[in-house]
Amino acid sequence: MSMRRTLSGGIAVLTMVGAGLTAWAPTASALELRGASADCVSGAGASSAKVADGGSLAADPNRLTSRQVEAREVSLNKQLAKRGLNRSTTSRLANGSVRVPVYVHVIRKNDGSGNTTNREVDRQITVLNRAFSGRTSSASVNTPFRFRLKDVDRTNNTDYYNWSISDDDRPAKRELHQGGFRALNLYVASLEDGLLGYATFPTTNNKLIKRDGVVLTKESLPGGAFGPYSRGDTATHEVGHWLNLYHTFQGGCSDPGDYVADTPRQRAGNNVFVCDPTLNTCGNNVGENALRDPVHNFLNYTDDNCIDRFSRGQEDRMEISYLAYRKGR
């Protein structure tokens, strides 16, 4: 089984049962997602993760605590204030008005095997654009974000290809990263430890520019070998984190949850894998569709066959976060 995870100035990690990792962040905890609870994780900033049904968090070096989330929210408020904005500001960016330049870094083995083709890259960009333009579901929303492929480069390096969370990713990213914080860097390799992908959250720290971006296992791209996780929505999930979204089950049934008012509260347990729209794991949810878990949301842990939407509140959060952290940088 496999998982999604997100790195920020801090880092989030998810692995399968029995896959041990070396923690290189300040805190560590072990979570099993069968019969236990799932949480987002963080390091210097914040982060999140995704595992496939039946997988588990065997090691979780940067678990996101409520204090770490609160610190990120304070940072967001400060950044908005600097730009003369606040969370209630509306009508900031028109749908489709933000063209995000995308640099794709395909990493292969030393002999050139393990390639990801340009066609596969193009299909992944198409998936992103469908998701962020609200074309995946009548319940989804349009957003300002459209992704434009700027460049595809290829690197033959078996060490980089066998990308592992237990290794430092800085050498590969320093060598390959292009553009500023407004550019999306996608690194495509063969992630070890059962990982589907991970991403960085936005940060004010300019020194972290070379760490910014999304890492994907090649088998999560459309047509890959990760079964129900191979329609390209690992990238959608991770780009959501890159634009400052938490998991829908962040904070479980407690306020303020994921800091999005229209995503109902969701218990952080085995239920996050279940594509059952009748689920009501918190019972006292508030918001739209109050008694139902957001099982179809891109920031849930259900597979690519189930997730198909962002909420209006998530669109708003991505927009203000882009203005606060990425625009003009």
Q: So which residues are the catalytic ones?
A: 238
What's the N-to-C CA distance of the chain in angstroms? 37
Strand arrangement, sheet containing 214-217: 49-51, 3-5, 195-199, 214-217, 184-189, 98-108, 145-156
Neighbours of 170 (CB within 10 A): 11
Place of tokens 């070096």: 61
Dist CA 293 CA 301 (whole Å): 12
Could you give the angle at which helices 233-242 and 118-132 cross, rounded to 10 degrees?
Answer: 60
Strand 57-60 versus strand 29-31 pairing type: antiparallel
Longest Cα–Cα distance of the chain, Å, equals 56
Instruction: Report CA 120 to chain centroid distance, whole Å.
Output: 20
Give 138: exposed, middle or buried? Use CB within 10 Å, 0-12, 13-18, 19+.
exposed
